[in-house]
Amino acid sequence: MSHLVIFLVLCYTKEKKFVRRLEILQNKVMEAKSATQTFELLLANGVYRAFDHIGDFVLTHKEFNICVMENENQEAVEKLLTQKGDCGLVIGRDDRLQQEIVAQLPIGLWIYQGHPYYECKEISICMLKDQNLLSMNEHSRIYIDLVSACKSEHFIPNIRMFATDGEALEGFCAAGVGLAISPYFFQEARKNLRFVPFSGGYTWDIYMSWIKEKSQNQGVKLMREWLKKERKSNEKI
């Protein structure tokens, strides 16, 4: 065998070893990536305020790259249905989804001091007529339900201002701009504001939701367990 042939054989052998090492390295990189799964959690606007400790879930489960996205309620539902998220916390029932109720918050008015309703113990829908109201935007479930309830009493509510953030509504209410329609999140109220619930037991119902195909998703299972524990601990308070 000539020296050239021996040289070429050696080069070929070394190249095969290099390629094999490269393949092993690539496989290890892929294994590392797959070991950290992505878990996509969708939240309807404002829902995060009902779960003070949701950050604990993110910090506890470091085996996941957790992506939290906030959307309009209906947009979150549609994303779940088209598998653009693993699970979500949305408002209201939807028969197309697998759902478990995880929180029910009373709905009512934030009322500023000096308003005639400030000392009321509860508010009826009829009492909203001719009042300046502050509400979440037109796409929110709470606005849609409000308009429906008012129409059933034969009037259209006077919405003076819309917002996407409940804290902003409370701020404008405190300034006397109007009465803010909101769920009650059980945190300390602003000075000179009172929360008064609606009569009739109106509630903001939050559901953990996912599609049937995601039922065995590990992140979905862990989130269900965590939310059950959260609800039990809140019921003890």
Q: In the predicted model, what is the mean pLDDT of the chain?
A: 85
- pLDDT at residue 148, rounded to an integer: 94
Three-state DSSP class for residue 45: coil
- pLDDT at residue 137, rounded to an integer: 87
Q: Are 58 and 219 in contact (CB under 8 A)?
A: no
Query: Is the confidence at residue 121, as pLDDT, over 80?
Result: yes
Higher pLDDT, 196 or 48: 196
b vs e for 188-225, b when ≥16 Cβ sit within 10 Å of the residue's Cβ? eeeeebbbbbbeeebbbbbbbbbbeebeebebbebbbe
CA distance 188 to 180: 16
Query: Is the confidence at residue 204, as pLDDT, over 70?
Result: yes
- pLDDT at residue 17, rounded to an integer: 53
- pLDDT at residue 168, rounded to an integer: 86
Three-state DSSP class for residue 231: helix
β-strand 87-91 against 64-71: which pairing, if any?
A: unpaired
Query: Is the confidence at residue 226, as pLDDT, over 50?
Result: yes
pLDDT tens digits for 157-191? 999 999 877 788 888 999 999 999 999 987 666 78
β-strand 203-210 against 98-112: which pairing, if any?
A: antiparallel
Query: Is the confidence at residue 16, as pLDDT, over 90?
Result: no
CA distance 116 to 118: 6
pLDDT tens digits for 28-62? 545 545 546 889 999 998 898 888 788 888 888 88
Query: Is the confidence at residue 91, as pLDDT, over 90?
Result: yes
Q: Are 166 and 128 in contact (CB under 8 A)?
A: no
Q: Are 181 and 46 in contact (CB under 8 A)?
A: no
Q: What is the largest CA-CA distance in the chain?
A: 106
- pLDDT at residue 53, rounded to an integer: 81
In angstroms, the Cα distances linking 130 to 118, 175, 187, 215 are 16, 19, 29, 47
Amino acid at 93: R
Three-state DSSP class for residue 65: strand
Residue 5's pLDDT band, with cuts at 50, 70 and 90, is very low
CA distance 2 to 148: 92
Q: What are phi and psi of 131, to 5 degrees?
A: -95, 145
Which DSSP category does 189 fall into?
Answer: P
Residues facing residue 193 across a β-bridge: 112
Average pLDDT on 222-234 reads 85
